[in-house]
Amino acid sequence: MYKLTVFAFLLFTSVVYSQKDHSKDVNRYKKEVKQTILQFFEGFHAGDTAKIKKTIDHNIVMQTIAKTKEGKIKTVKTDVEKFLAAIHDRPAEQRWDERLLLFKIDTDSAIANVWTPYEFYLNDTFSHCGVNVFQLFNDGTSWRIIALADTRTREGCK
């Protein structure tokens, strides 16, 4: 019985001490993911599509979840090139300000999901609110946005 107890104790302690503390890695990943999204919006606000392109994957999927006039919910795919052109060609006197209210980030070493409620202002005038949902992957050197979906509404924002 003594040998069995010693064996069980040694087995338990070796398992406990062999497990790596992943919380430091996860916190680092979360900071990197948040920084990628902040860089995306720095480019968005400044009209700097080169900065945005550094944060997105070439196969990014962009969609808006929208309500039709009949009240049905549908998805509308956004062409990334048209999205970038709209940002690049935005009139200089027009200011887009998407204010992120919260970052809810879930991640491991290779993939991340981020939920960001927001308020959108056009030239300091409130326009709408909604939620952005980002999916990112880590290509070994940086985090890249592979999917972005958003909602937009004027009801229940404030």
The 8-class DSSP code of residue 68 comes to -
5 within a domain of the structure (yes/no): no
The tokens describing 130, both together, are: 């909604």
Is residue 124 included in any domain, yes or no? yes
pLDDT at 12 (0 to 100): 54
pLDDT for 15: 46
Q: CA–CA distance from 99 to each of 106, 139, 157 (Å)?
A: 21, 28, 13
Low-confidence ranges of the chain (pLDDT < 70): 1-22
Q: Would you state the pLDDT for residue 105? A: 98
Domain residues for 88? 23-151
Is 51 a domain residue? yes
Say which CATH number the domain at 55 has.
Answer: 3.10.450.50
In a domain, residue 1? The reply is: no
Structure tokens at 51: 């900065």
Decide if 9 is inside a domain: no
Which of 151, 120, 145 has the alpha carbon at shortest distance from 35? 145
Query: 48-92, pLDDT tens digit by residue?
Result: 999 999 999 999 999 999 988 898 999 999 999 999 999 999 999
**Alpha carbon separation from 16 to 9, 10, 13, 129 (Å, rounded):** 11, 10, 5, 46
Collect all residues with Cβ–Cβ distance below 8 Å to 94 and sequence separation of at least 6: 122, 123
Q: Is residue 13 part of a domain?
A: no
pLDDT score at 140? 92
Q: Total structural domains in the chain?
A: 1
